[in-house]
Structure 1
């Protein structure tokens, strides 16, 4: 291990093996360090001269002056090679962000690169773990980047590997140690915002980088783990299209770091590639095609007819607009029979006509979910009409904005009556019929505000937390009683519905401005997309489903920060609105 001075900054680097041997350069990922290559340094140094630096701004290397981007990282790597006196082209192996840096090194310093081995590499798709997307959130992102916690480090380490046992206490401790280095958090925030947004990896730099790399063809090996939860294996298909002559290897049962999870096979693969060049593998295309089909299965094809709902009778409350309407239509397309209800009879009529237009059997009724006796009568009427009931989607809800100090009892009671007691009424009224069906499912819509609280949403938070607790307890009760009823709790983020426009608020709050802020800043997911996500979760019997990238990111922040999220959210989330 050496500590060099490169451009007046400290750089940590490990070299191993006979210096006369072929040089192999190992580049780690974002917020990582050269220790990610320990298993490979030991193995590859038997045949090669191995160079493993901490990239600028990460590990124990200081960041370069100037912008935080791929060019700066690649220039830093080139400067490290120069300081080591290594002038030969290297066989560059890059994992995650290190793969993108390897490609940038080829684009910026083509004489430095003999070949590329891209391992679960960034640069081939927009999808990336919410743990990294959250770094692009205003306020929250900078806090998350600069305040590493043991819980956050454990969560990240576990997501890296298919086998969580590899997230050892030693790895977690090391992650905390490098995160605590001066300037590391600020650099992580800067590079994350350069490369991505809260919605995923930015396309512009990916397109520019791949175009630049195409001008400097090199022998290429593409490696991925099929259970990568950081950069999903579907990216391998895009990588193959950009490198059509590349050798490809997909490790089964492997996550984001094959070099650690499959060390011997990985070393053998890289050794053979460096010494002999790329070879073809007939076994790879079927595996890759399977990955691509799995991804496509939640896309356009399944929107026509989602499996598992044909012939079932589904009850949807709040079906006159938004998520409820989208759920009803998607269920109708998938062969279900629908009992839909709402207090908004005009909106309900629109949903009814849409269902009739696609040939779905439908029973439409005005229903106020707060009226318990009416709900019980309604349940009996639905059972009599269809002969059975399989599913209920307790979706009806309202929104209210106002601090506790200025909210009346009636304001709070109204939210609880609709958003919580409406769910209880629906569940209790239909549960006997669901049990009798032999194939029941209760789907209760909570909110991201059932995962965390924000100022001005005490009433809504209370109702949605109550829905979550009620639903999670019900799922356990059904399992213990061995009843044939599954239970799912739904937590939507910002959905493009009319909930904010129809909301009420405490005196002095401009509802129109509140709705405008919600629609412009928070409502990112369409009701149609939300419905598909919910039904996919129902089909798979998931206990909890987070709807929208924002919901996933905020859930991660709360899990990492613990109760400290309250201090963080109080400064940036005053204006957040319900789903």
Structure 2
């Protein structure tokens, strides 16, 4: 579908505006207007026409830029788009102020319906993993396959290192943290985030660190940044306490799409021990464990994650060229790297 054929609720492709999130070569940014919200969308066009669509959904405090390392590795097998969830990246807050997991899932569903690209290969990280689990459970017609990288699913024993993030959900904590850290430079904040989210922050290149600092400066300049963070953190906590058919684990059991679960052995936010529980919950699942990865494996080990997705897509019968599954190595090849291992369940 060309841009001229899109419904009226969709805005045209726009050039990156001053202060916008970074756009790497081969990407473009779209602005999509939907009822009650406007979403910024990062597009990595497929290498060929007619390839199936994919949608990537970032985690708490992230943006579509979190997928820039992974998307080009898969552009020969899928046509990728990555959302900035409402209140993050270049997307303004939603009109109704709803930052719950259900509210974010509603944004994803509205986008897919308006874009007319479903069903898609759906990929989510952290908060985005919880959001995409809910989407796959309630709208199976929109999902071809599901890939979850360190999904934020309820844990009975939360890791101590994850507690400060959870505390953001408490009223007044975000404002207090802002006051206590007002002297922190963007560089200091980025180092803190990387120490929390990466398995080995020392492996981040100087260029990548500088880009992250620029991104942090942009985020801090937005008046709604901390409010979006606090309300989304509260949304995760509320989702953790929700029981019955709306509970995330119950919804994981309802997912019909073939599912790839990616867990990092050095993840300080989502416990590595939850990997096998997740593999048991999702009925058609496989597990990729990356022992040296932290919370953002798609940024630290994009080749390994891409290889896992290729095999998922191939086994689901969604790969146009079967030879493409081995491009860049498959999950079984990851054993050559002592920091990764591939297992299925």
- Which bracket does the TM-score occupy, shorter chain normalised? 0.7 to 0.9
Name the counterpart of 1:60: 90
Asked if 1:72 is matched to 2:90, the reply is no
Structure 1 residue ranges (4+ consecutive) displaced by more than 6 angstroms after TM superposition: 145-148, 278-281
The answer to whether the 8 Å contact 2:58/2:84 transfers is yes
Asked if 1:7 is matched to 2:35, the reply is yes
The answer to whether the 8 Å contact 1:71/1:108 transfers is no
Cα deviation code 1:322-373 (max 9, x no counterpart): xxxxxxxxxxxxxxxxxxxxxxxxxxxxxxxxxxxxxxxxxxxxxxxxxxxx
Name the counterpart of 1:181: 222
Name the counterpart of 1:169: 210
SS in structure 2 opposite 1:260?
helix
CA deviation after TM superposition for structure 1 residue 37, in Å:
0.3
Asked if 1:159 is matched to 2:230, the reply is no
CA distance in 2, matches of 1:19, 1:54: 25
284, 287, 298: which one pairs with 1:259?
A: 298
**Higher Cα Rg, which structure:** 1
Asked if 1:135 is matched to 2:168, the reply is yes
Name the counterpart of 1:98: 128
22, 27, 40: which one pairs with 2:57?
A: 27
CA distance in 2, matches of 1:276, 1:97: 27
230, 233, 257: which one pairs with 1:192?
A: 233
What aligned pairs does 1:273-292 form with structure 2 within 5 A after superposition?
273-277=312-316
CA distance in 2, matches of 1:63, 1:205: 28
Asked if 1:39 is matched to 2:69, the reply is yes
CA distance in 1, matches of 2:165, 2:79: 33
SS in structure 1 opposite 2:168?
helix
Q: Supply the RMSD in Å over aligned alpha carbons.
A: 2.9
The answer to whether the 8 Å contact 1:120/1:256 transfers is yes
140, 144, 150: which one pairs with 2:177?
A: 144
SS in structure 2 opposite 1:181?
coil
The answer to whether the 8 Å contact 2:264/2:297 transfers is yes
CA distance in 1, matches of 2:137, 2:281: 15
Cα deviation code 1:452-474 (max 9, x no counterpart): xxxxxxxxxxxxxxxxxxxxxxx
CA distance in 1, matches of 2:133, 2:145: 10
CA distance in 2, matches of 1:180, 1:110: 38
Cα deviation code 1:270-295 (max 9, x no counterpart): 112112239998x99xx99xxxxxxx
The answer to whether the 8 Å contact 1:4/1:10 transfers is yes
Asked if 1:236 is matched to 2:236, the reply is no
In structure 2, the CA distance between the partners of 1:134 and 1:80, relative to structure 1 (3 Å rule), is same
In structure 2, the CA distance between the partners of 1:179 and 1:103, relative to structure 1 (3 Å rule), is farther
Cα deviation code 1:182-218 (max 9, x no counterpart): 3232122112123228xxx833269712223423422
The answer to whether the 8 Å contact 1:34/1:52 transfers is yes
The answer to whether the 8 Å contact 1:158/1:164 transfers is yes
CA deviation after TM superposition for structure 1 residue 64, in Å:
2.1
CA distance in 1, matches of 2:281, 2:211: 38
CA distance in 1, matches of 2:331, 2:218: 41
CA distance in 2, matches of 1:239, 1:192: 21
253, 269, 284: which one pairs with 2:308?
A: 269
In structure 2, the CA distance between the partners of 1:44 and 1:258, relative to structure 1 (3 Å rule), is same
Name the counterpart of 2:326: none
CA deviation after TM superposition for structure 1 residue 89, in Å:
0.8
Gap regions ≥5 residues in structure 2: 1-28, 318-329, 341-345
95, 107, 116: which one pairs with 2:137?
A: 107
SS in structure 2 opposite 1:79?
helix
In structure 2, the CA distance between the partners of 1:37 and 1:260, relative to structure 1 (3 Å rule), is same
The answer to whether the 8 Å contact 2:125/2:150 transfers is yes
Gap regions ≥5 residues in structure 1: 289-579
SS in structure 2 opposite 1:247?
strand
CA deviation after TM superposition for structure 1 residue 84, in Å:
2.7
The answer to whether the 8 Å contact 2:174/2:226 transfers is no
CA distance in 2, matches of 1:237, 1:145: 37
Asked if 1:204 is matched to 2:242, the reply is yes
CA distance in 1, matches of 2:190, 2:270: 18
SS in structure 2 opposite 1:46?
coil
CA distance in 1, matches of 2:169, 2:154: 19
- What TM-score, normalized by structure 1, do the two folds share? 0.45
What aligned pairs does 1:78-93 form with structure 2 within 5 A after superposition?
78-86=109-117, 88-93=118-123
Cα deviation code 1:93-112 (max 9, x no counterpart): 11111110111112332211
Higher helix share: 1
The answer to whether the 8 Å contact 1:145/1:188 transfers is no
CA distance in 2, matches of 1:46, 1:145: 43
In structure 2, the CA distance between the partners of 1:218 and 1:77, relative to structure 1 (3 Å rule), is same
148, 170, 181: which one pairs with 1:118?
A: 148
The answer to whether the 8 Å contact 1:124/1:235 transfers is no
